[in-house]
Structure 1
Amino acid sequence: MRGTRLSGDTPAEALLRSLGITSPDEIDLEAIAWSIGAKVREMELPSCEARIIGCQDQAIITVRNSGDPRRRRFSIGHELGHWIHHRGRSSICRSSDIGNPEAASQLEKQADRFAADLLMPRYLFVPSVAQLKRPDFESIDELATTFTTSRLATALRCVDIGTWPVVLICHGPSGRRWFKRAANIPDDWFPREDLDPSSPSFPVLFGTVERTRIQSVAASLWFDRRDASRYRITEQSLKARGGTMLTLLTLTDPKMLTQGNR
Structure 2
Amino acid sequence: MARERLLTELAGCNSAETLLAAIFRHHPDISAPVPVEDIARRVGITDIRGLSDEVVSSSVLVDGTGVTAVISCSAALSTPRRRFAIAHQLGHFLLKTAREDGPCSARDLSENRRDTLHRKQEAQANRFAAGLLMPKPLMAASLDSLGKPAIAHVVALAASYGVTTEAAASRYLDVTPAACAILFIKHGVVHYARPSRTFPAMAIQRGDAAPSSVLEDKIDQPTAWITVEARDWLILSRDVRSPKVSMQALAKKNDLHLVMLSINAAAERRADEEAEKYATERPSFGRGVDRR
Q: So what's the TM-score if we normalise by structure 1?
A: 0.79
Q: Say whether 1:203 aligns with 2:213.
A: no
Q: Which residue of 2 aligns with 1:184?
A: 198
Q: Which residue of 1 aligns with 2:13?
A: none
Q: Which residue of 2 aligns with 1:98?
A: 109
Per-residue Cα deviation, 1:137-196 (whole angstroms, up to 9, x for no partner): 221222222211121111110101132211122345574444221112243x54374422
Q: Distance in 2 between matches of 1:21 and 1:46?
A: 37
Q: Which residue of 1 aligns with 2:145?
A: 131
Q: Which residue of 2 aligns with 1:246?
A: 258
Cα deviation for residue 242 of structure 1 reads 8.1
Cα deviation for residue 21 of structure 1 reads 4.0
Q: Say whether 1:66 aligns with 2:80.
A: no
- Seen in structure 2, the aligned counterparts of structure 1 residues 212 and 139 have a Cα distance that, compared at 3 Å, is closer
RMSD between superposed Cα atoms in Å: 3.6
Structure 2, unmatched stretches of 5+, are 10-15, 276-292
Which residue of 136, 158, 161 corresponds with 1:122? Answer: 136
Q: Which residue of 2 aligns with 1:18?
A: 25
Aligned residues of 1:233 and 1:253 also touching (Cα < 8 A): no
Q: Which amino acid counterpart does residue 262 of structure 2 have in structure 1?
A: T
Q: Distance in 2 between matches of 1:190 and 1:15?
A: 39
Structure 1, unmatched stretches of 5+, are none
Q: So what's the TM-score if we normalise by structure 2?
A: 0.72
Aligned residues of 1:211 and 1:239 also touching (Cα < 8 A): yes
Q: Distance in 1 between matches of 2:120 and 2:251?
A: 28
Q: Which residue of 2 aligns with 1:44?
A: 52
Q: Which moved more, 1:132-141 or 1:86-95?
A: 86-95
Cα deviation for residue 229 of structure 1 reads 8.0
Which residue of 154, 175, 193 corresponds with 1:140? Answer: 154
Q: Among the aligned pairs, what percent are the same residue?
A: 20
Q: Distance in 2 between matches of 1:257 and 1:37?
A: 51
Aligned residues of 1:215 and 1:235 also touching (Cα < 8 A): yes
Q: Say whether 1:77 aligns with 2:87.
A: yes
Q: Which moved more, 1:209-218 or 1:42-51?
A: 209-218
Q: Secondary structure at the match of 2:107?
A: helix
Based on CA coordinates, which of the two structures has the bigger radius of gyration?
A: 2
Aligned residues of 1:176 and 1:194 also touching (Cα < 8 A): yes
Aligned residues of 1:171 and 1:244 also touching (Cα < 8 A): yes
User: How many correspondences in the alignment?
Assistant: 252
